[in-house]
Chain A
Amino acid sequence: MSVSKNNDPFWWTLFGAGGTISAFFIPIHVVLMGIAIPLGWFDTMDYDRYLELARHPLARLYLFAVISLSLFHWAHRFRYTLYDGLQLKHLEQYIVVFCYGIATAGTFITVILIFSI
């Protein structure tokens, strides 16, 4: 994989899209599914209805977009934080493969899960 400056607009677009979608949608998920529902503040759906919801075409698209773009958002931002914060610019190639590699792997896993659910 050759990475040059020319790829930056592409990664930046994914970073921007991921930043926006995660800013809009992740907080409410954390509040409800990570805090409020586990603490029993709400009566929630059972397993079958969650499964039914996750199988809805729009829900699949939504989950794919939120998960994949959030990962690419992290990949791009974390890459430059490593450069600036830890001054690891000389390890650029490894950092690029590590960051975007994880995001790509997560995207593949998400696609497989979404289509087999």
Chain B
Amino acid sequence: MDSRESTTSRTDDAGVEIPYQRFRPKRYQPRMSIFWWIHKKVYLRFIIRELTSVFVAIYAVILIVKLNALLRGPESWEVMTAALATPFSIVLHVIILLFVVYHSITWFLLAPTATVVRLGRKRIPDSAIIAVNFLMWLVLSVAVGWIILAV
């Protein structure tokens, strides 16, 4: 006999004991607040990490707008350049930067869980994979920066 069956008992509203029934769903299913993630730091960090994707998407849309301005001609490009120099735009980009950098850092720190690299019989340590990712981030940033500024 299943030991759980004898030890698990619940009572209904009137206090009458309801015998345990296997696979029978509980009738009481509490509804969680939609702000469940605010109360604990880990949950909050998780939600912030997931929400970095919103800022990644916002910047992708900004890139589309820039491409469109480039396509429409020098006048549109000038209008866009002027708009980018406004305090609103600068503040918006600083906020976007904070979130996308948080995305990059959390992404690279999680990289070892997605990429398991083996060298012969030995597994390459997580710290090495993380280090390579951060190094590549630096190298690629310098390369792209050089192209944008100096071509």
Interface residue B94 (Cβ < 8 Å from any Cβ of A) = yes
- Residue pair B97, A31 in contact (C-beta under 8 Å): yes
Number of interface residues of A (CB under 8 A): 54
The residue on A at minimum CB distance from B34 is A86
- Residue pair A51, B70 in contact (C-beta under 8 Å): yes
- Residue pair B90, A70 in contact (C-beta under 8 Å): no
- Residue pair B104, A54 in contact (C-beta under 8 Å): no
Number of interface residues of B (CB under 8 A): 52
A-B CB contact pairs (8 Å), 21 listed: A24-B137, A25-B144, A26-B56, A26-B103, A27-B137, A27-B141, A28-B144, A31-B97, A32-B149, A33-B148, A34-B84, A34-B92, A34-B93, A35-B93, A37-B84, A66-B63, A71-B60, A74-B57, A85-B50, A109-B64, A114-B67
Interface residue ranges, B against A (CB under 8 Å): 31-32, 34, 37, 47, 50-51, 53-54, 56-57, 59-64, 66-68, 70-71, 74, 77-78, 81, 84-85, 89-90, 92-94, 96-97, 100-101, 103-104, 107-108, 114, 136-137, 140-141, 144-145, 147-149, 151
